Structure 1
């Protein structure tokens, strides 16, 4: 069984009794995570630099700690499990999987949909928080609080069929000692330091606080700039690039969301975006942009969050994204920037 722990955002191995191993291989405790990801997974690094932050301001040290403590203890990330292992492949797979899972767990939106939002005065019950999360995840979530009754961590549990890096992650019932929050009086505090916040798929810890106007990613309308990340097979895998196609390597394109009626339109450096002949297209030739909506987790079109393509793109290949059924289904999340 494996667990993704949020708000901190780390992934660690949880054994049957709810404990986990730590710091299993000192020879693989890398001290240059930023450099490793910059070379092998720049889009993952870009996301982490915004949403996987160290509260003391030393992101590199924090990532090194998470990899050394938890990543080196995942058996399928051991060098012997790779057919053609190259040094640091294991760390790249670890952070790619952590980020892709994180993007499929929009806890902030799930809680907000149930009326549970950050507040400096209001408190919530454990039952209400658990109900909001369980109804979306499918199983109970381990909800942890600090000594001040403040919401501190969310633990999502999975059974992994196959390897961590390429296996199937199935949501599962929690193991271990259970939630540490009291039954009532739980505080869900806003992030300090600003007046406006924006969230993307993730947890309460993915809130970015600023005193300036920012783009929003909740409800049915988006505004501002962001990336369109693709979720397929339960994991984040690449993004939509400027022409409106799905690409799994390289840098994500920046899109601009503009409110329109009860939804919003999208545009990229190529031009306005529209559904044309059942396919997503962004081009200078598009004269009328399609109005999309957002359900708090995924981009929607005509009330559906399901999009399709004929095959998952690999290497430099791009795949056209359709609104009609094809061999591969996918969903699209918004990452505000």
Structure 2
């Protein structure tokens, strides 16, 4: 009897001490999907012991996009955004982040067919991401974001706001009702912490370097070589994107068993749109470099003679923003809306159809569906504009849009579409 009691006591101690490894049944179920996910198996930070409520809230997590949705609890099953994309950027002009490291774009919940929702909960839209993280006490997280989650326009906070409002609010397992003892805005911190954790486990610069793919002004690479190197590290296919033939973006896709915060991330093949990179000749430029010149295959006539007096958008001038019936800042050389500092000088380059192109010191200007109005030496297909009632016009459109009024030294992008961009503004010309 004494021996039995001793063994029972020993079993109780071992049961209390043993780590929370997945059961053999769960291991077999996951590995049968063909996904290599050992680096992401244990998602708890070192030294962190989950609360009891966390263990029992989702006792039998199912893998998103591999199990059909049938009224499961969407606090435990990511739906409809079941495929999570950790997206990284390589920004060269201007360079953002360390010279030897990619930066974070975001964590996006796509549907299992590649479509996606956006801006899913207006009641949880926030404009103060850094303050929320500071209040949580996670200063190490905020420091990492400041170093590696960079906005090409220079206002990192604006990118963080955009990523949470557009994508974070669409992750079903981050809804407030999913937290046993919900503290307001804790799901915001969860989103940014998980995104950074995933990013740190996917060091793209090191992965590519190990395969001999390094930034260079002279070397070019095959798409297969880049994708193969990334697939070897990730365990599944990885989607890459290019801008003007230059490597600029990597998307690592995952399906998740359980909620975002504590779930198991299983590498998954991407769905939806394919890579837009060419099969060969891909450039991977160093960040610390001079800009390349505009494409020699495209030339635009320079204005000749003196511009007619009083004519808008002729010669050189400033692009002034009119918001809510009054002048409110201007556009700077890379295309952002700015309210503090010196306005950029733009040149109106005559076009062939009684229209014109805009050019700043950074290069020709165009509207990009994702980035809004941009001016860069990498723009090969500038947007043709006209003037209407002394306002900048795109076709017959004289109203443009933005997300938020820029603050201090920050910038806000300007878009041609009002979709999810609530601020309407007009752009007029002031002779330089």
Fold conserved between structures, TM > 0.5: yes
CA distance in 1, matches of 2:150, 2:162: 13
- Aligned counterpart, 2:86: 4
- Aligned counterpart, 1:67: 164
- Aligned counterpart, 1:162: 258
Instruction: Return closer, same or farther for 1:94/1:112 CA change in 2, 3 Å cut-off.
Output: same
Check if 1:36 corresponds to 2:132: yes
- Taking the TM superposition and a 5 Å limit, the aligned residue runs for 1:1-337 are 1-7=83-89, 8-40=104-136, 41-146=138-243, 148-192=244-288
Q: Displacement of 1:177 after TM fit?
A: 1.7
Q: What stretches of structure 1 of length at least 5 have no aligned partner?
A: 195-337
CA distance in 1, matches of 2:164, 2:177: 18
Q: Displacement of 1:175 after TM fit?
A: 1.0
- 1:166 aligned counterpart, secondary structure: coil
1:127-174 Cα deviation digits (max 9, x unpaired): 00011111111111011112x111111011111000011111011111
- 1:85 aligned counterpart, secondary structure: coil
Instruction: Give runs of ≥4 in structure 1 deviating > 2 Å.
Output: none
Instruction: Return closer, same or farther for 1:28/1:108 CA change in 2, 3 Å cut-off.
Output: same
Instruction: Return closer, same or farther for 1:6/1:131 CA change in 2, 3 Å cut-off.
Output: same
CA distance in 2, matches of 1:163, 1:193: 42
CA distance in 1, matches of 2:242, 2:192: 25
CA distance in 1, matches of 2:289, 2:232: 32
1:165-209 Cα deviation digits (max 9, x unpaired): 111101111111221111011111111369xxxxxxxxxxxxxxx
CA distance in 1, matches of 2:182, 2:139: 20
CA distance in 1, matches of 2:122, 2:216: 42
Q: Which has the higher strand share?
A: 1
Q: Displacement of 1:9 after TM fit?
A: 2.7
CA distance in 1, matches of 2:152, 2:123: 27
Paired residues of 1:9 and 1:102 also in contact (CA < 8 A):
no
Q: TM-score, normalised by structure 2?
A: 0.44
CA distance in 2, matches of 1:61, 1:193: 26
CA distance in 1, matches of 2:233, 2:109: 23
1:199-238 Cα deviation digits (max 9, x unpaired): xxxxxxxxxxxxxxxxxxxxxxxxxxxxxxxxxxxxxxxx
Paired residues of 1:29 and 1:68 also in contact (CA < 8 A):
yes
Number of paired residues? 193
Q: TM-score, normalised by structure 1?
A: 0.56
1:61-105 Cα deviation digits (max 9, x unpaired): 110001000000000011111111111111100000000000000
- Output the aligned Cα RMSD: 1.2
